[in-house]
Amino acid sequence: RKEVEQDPGPFNVPEGATVAFNCTYSNSASQSFFWYRQDCRKEPKLLMSVYSSGNEDGRFTAQLNRASQYISLLIRDSKLSDSATYLCAVNGAGSYQLTFGKGTKLSVIP
Amino acid sequence: GAGVSQTPSNKVTEKGKYVELRCDPISGHTALYWYRQSLGQGPEFLIYFQGTGAADDSGLPNDRFFAVRPEGSVSTLKIQRTERGDSAVYLCASSLGSLQDTQYFGPGTRLTVL
């Protein structure tokens, strides 16, 4: 089993739709969790850190489920500008290295 | 302020050659990371520096890869005897230095080995 696995894409959704991505991780000692956004041929940019209590930033909501070892990202009212690849990233206990999933490509269609 | 910068943005080389990739982190960031991203994959960790020292080099694939950060700022990733399989985007990131701090990525160097 890979350390970090994401929903296979691509996700093609109409503008205004709600879309959810899941990401599972295998290391139960993982401590920090992140969602990054990566546009085509660009660097990853942090979208959100994911906290145990869940967190929301505008149209974006991130959740962590430690018991089932997964994190999720919910995007409400999708915009064309949300089209990108979404990467989840995890770092283990005491480890600075981030382990990334392969990413899920989202295309928001007019 | 200025973000992480990387040079060159593109590098084409021939199999067997030596290459150096440079990273200039955000000013004041003590932690610096190198990752490698192949097409269709997420970034893969290579090495992490805290100050001048390599704190974790467990991701370096073999001894052809080496990285330095002599003054605790700019870092250079060095690849000897390049192979076609080394072709990828090499990403550098920096952070303030604590475990929870956000890693900010540079634009990457796209390395193509012919």
Q: What is the pLDDT of residue B57?
A: 94
B83 CA to chain A: closest CA distance, Å? 22
Q: Backbone phi, then psi, for B90, in 5-degree steps?
A: -100, 115
pLDDT score of B48 more than 70: yes
pLDDT score of B1 more than 70: no
Bridge-based pairing state of the strands A11-14 and A104-109? parallel
CA Rg value for chain B: 13
pLDDT score of A92 more than 90: no
A29 CA to chain B: closest CA distance, Å? 14
Nearest to A71 by CA among A17, A6, A10: A6
CA Rg value for chain A: 13
Q: Assign residue A58 a region: left if phi > 0, alpha if psi is -120 to 50, beta otherwise?
A: left
Q: Backbone phi, then psi, for B67, in 5-degree steps?
A: -135, 150
Q: Give the model confidence (pLDDT) of B72-97 as tens digits.
A: 999 999 999 999 999 999 999 999 98
B102 touches chain A (CB under 8 A): yes
Q: Give the model confidence (pLDDT) of A52-82 as tens digits.
A: 888 999 999 999 999 999 999 999 999 999 9
Q: How confident is the model at residue B105 (pLDDT cuts 50, 70, 90)?
A: very high
Q: What is the pLDDT of residue A89?
A: 95
Q: How confident is the model at residue B103 (pLDDT cuts 50, 70, 90)?
A: very high
Q: What is the pLDDT of residue A79?
A: 98
Q: What is the pLDDT of residue A72?
A: 96
Question: Token digits for A7?
Answer: 């929903």
State how far the Cα of A2 lies from the Cα of B55, in Å rounded to an integer: 24
B105 touches chain A (CB under 8 A): yes
Q: 10 Å Cβ neighbour count for A29? A: 8
Q: Which residues from chain B sit within 8 angstroms of residue A87, using beta carbons?
A: 42-43
State how far the Cα of B101 lies from the Cα of B114, in Å rounded to an integer: 37
pLDDT above 90: percentage of residues in chain A: 79
What value does the mean pLDDT of chain A take? 93
Q: Give the model confidence (pLDDT) of B3-37 as tens digits.
A: 999 999 999 999 999 999 999 999 999 999 999 99
Q: What is the pLDDT of residue A16?
A: 98
**Amino acid in position A86:** Y
Contact criterion met (CB < 8 Å) for A100 and B44: yes
Integer distance in angstroms from the first to the last C-alpha of chain B? 37
State how far the Cα of B64 lies from the Cα of A49, in Å rounded to an integer: 34
Q: What is the pLDDT of residue A1?
A: 62
Q: What is the pLDDT of residue B84?
A: 97
B42 touches chain A (CB under 8 A): yes
Nearest to A40 by CA among A105, A108, A102, A110: A105
The average pLDDT across A31-59 equals 93
